């Protein structure tokens, strides 16, 4: 492992952006500690509340949200925040340069089974002179992100971070409390024989996705002429971390299970930041046939179809949709 001083290797960033990232990471270190304490810190299980999206909130969802929200609003670095666990955007410092959208604890169905969870964040410039309480300041396409990252709380706590000059991996050194650089340039292999999808929804997918997966499953006896492996962690951070490190295709496609909710993943604080990390590592990320980072958002908790990962495999999947 290459040992570096406990600073982020994000050259060319403004001092304010680096301080903002460090502020988010300070909260993530605390979340990492609470997650690792499990039942000992009394944070397992659900609250009696639901978020605006009708999902039951876990105690750790609420705690993680509070930790990140408080530290960001106190820092003075954010004009406003948007969170999966907040119904509406929250105003910060009117003079601040940045806005942050985040999912404080992704994959929360994994909390109570001691499996992978993570925090995802997306940082954008705040429009100048904008009212911090106006949610429309978040209505910017993902290509305008200035930084994106996730922290994965696994056997080790890892940070994947991009500020637009590649994607880097850091590992939390718990003895010193610092994220140390452990992989300077991630490159997703263009080819893969692994996909991640919740196959229990198969009968609800649209025909192109049904056909794509059917052809993968047919292995060497089908048109793809190679065998595929499947993985599903049910935590986007965990599944995307795998494809960033060894390649693969991750998809949560459109489905017809509930016509009022054809997509599952959220654009602003799941799909966009993950797309930036994946594209900065040489991969692709699409919603149907549209590049995710080109989508102009229309609401804070907007959902999208997601297919991302190894370039050639995503292109093959796209060819079924065209």
Summarize as ranges the residues that interact with ligand F6P (CB under 6 A). 106-107, 109, 198, 234-236, 239, 252, 264-265, 270
Q: Which is nearer to ligand F6P, 183 or 198 (CB)?
A: 198
Between 51 and 89, whose beta carbon lies closer to ligand F6P? 51
Tally of CB atoms within 10 A around 272: 28
Compute CA 293 distance to the chain's CA centroid, rounded to the nearest angstrom: 13
Partners of 194 in the β-ladder = 229
Q: Which residues pair with 196 in a beta bridge?
A: 250
Q: Treating both helix axes as pointing N-terminal to C-terminal, what angle do 207-217 and 311-321 enclose, rounded to 10 degrees?
A: 130
Task: Please say which residue, 85 or 93, places its beta carbon nearer to ligand F6P.
Answer: 85
Shortest distance in whole angstroms from residue 107 CB to ligand F6P: 4
Determine the Cα–Cα distance for residues 86 and 95; give it in Å rounded to an integer.
22
CB 180 within 8 A of CB 161: no
Q: Which is nearer to ligand F6P, 270 or 313 (CB)?
A: 270
Give the nearest residue (CB) to ligand F6P.
Answer: 236
The CB-of-181 to ligand F6P minimum distance in angstroms stands at 26
> To the nearest whole angstrom, how small is the minimum distance from the Cβ of residue 200 to ligand F6P?
8
Nearest distance in Å: CB 299, ligand F6P:
16
Nearer to ligand F6P, 34 or 301 (CB): 301
Would strands 157-162 and 145-153 be described as parallel, antiparallel, or unpaired? antiparallel
DSSP states of 236-290: HHHHHHHHHHH--EEEE--BSSSTT----EEIIIIIHHHHHHHHHTT-EEEETTE
Smallest distance, ligand F6P to C-beta of residue 12, A:
31
Classify residue 48 as exposed, middle or buried by CB count within 10 Å of its CB (0-12, 13-18, 19+). exposed
- Among residues 1 and 113, whose Cβ is nearest to ligand F6P? 113
Smallest separation (angstroms) from ligand F6P to the CB of 207: 20
Whose Cβ is closer to ligand F6P: residue 108's or residue 157's? 108
Q: Strand 249-252 and strand 194-196: pairing?
A: parallel
Least CB distance from residue 175 to ligand F6P, whole Å?
A: 30
- Segment 285-288 long-range contacts (CB within 8 Å, at least 24 positions apart): 285/309, 285/314, 286/314, 286/318, 287/263, 288/254, 288/321
């Amino acid at each position: 492992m290459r040992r570096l001083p406990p600073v982020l290797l994000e050259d060319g960033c403004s001092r304010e952006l680096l301080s903002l990232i460090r502020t988010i990471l300070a909260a993530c270190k605390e979340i990492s500690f609470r997650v690792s304490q499990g039942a000992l810190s009394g944070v397992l299980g659900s609250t009696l509340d639901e978020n605006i999206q009708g999902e039951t909130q876990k105690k750790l969802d609420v705690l993680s949200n509070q930790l990140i929200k408080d530290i960001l609003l106190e820092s003075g670095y954010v004009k406003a925040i948007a969170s999966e666990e907040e119904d509406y955007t929250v105003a910060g410092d009117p003079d601040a340069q940045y806005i942050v959208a985040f999912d404080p604890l992704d994959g929360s169905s994994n909390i109570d089974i001691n499996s992978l969870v993570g925090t995802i964040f997306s940082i954008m410039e705040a429009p100048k002179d904008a009212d911090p309480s106006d949610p429309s300041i978040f209505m910017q396409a993902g290509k305008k992100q200035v930084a994106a990252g996730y922290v994965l709380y696994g056997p080790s706590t890892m940070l994947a971070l991009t500020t637009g000059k590649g994607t880097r991996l850091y590992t939390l050194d718990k003895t010193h409390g610092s994220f140390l650089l452990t992989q300077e340039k991630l490159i997703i292999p263009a080819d893969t024989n692994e996909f991640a999808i919740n196959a229990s929804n198969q009968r609800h997918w649209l025909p192109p996705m049904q056909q794509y997966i059917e052809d993968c499953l047919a292995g060497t006896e089908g048109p793809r002429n190679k065998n595929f492996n499947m993985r599903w962690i049910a935590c986007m951070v965990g599944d995307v971390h795998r494809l960033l490190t060894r390649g693969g295709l991750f998809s949560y496609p459109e489905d017809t299970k509930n016509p009022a909710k054809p997509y599952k993943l959220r654009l602003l604080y799941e799909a966009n930041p993950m797309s930036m990390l994946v594209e900065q590592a040489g991969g692709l990320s699409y919603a149907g046939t549209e590049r995710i980072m080109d989508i102009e958002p229309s609401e804070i908790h907007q959902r999208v179809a997601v297919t991302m990962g190894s370039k050639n495999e995503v292109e093959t999947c796209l060819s079924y949709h065209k």
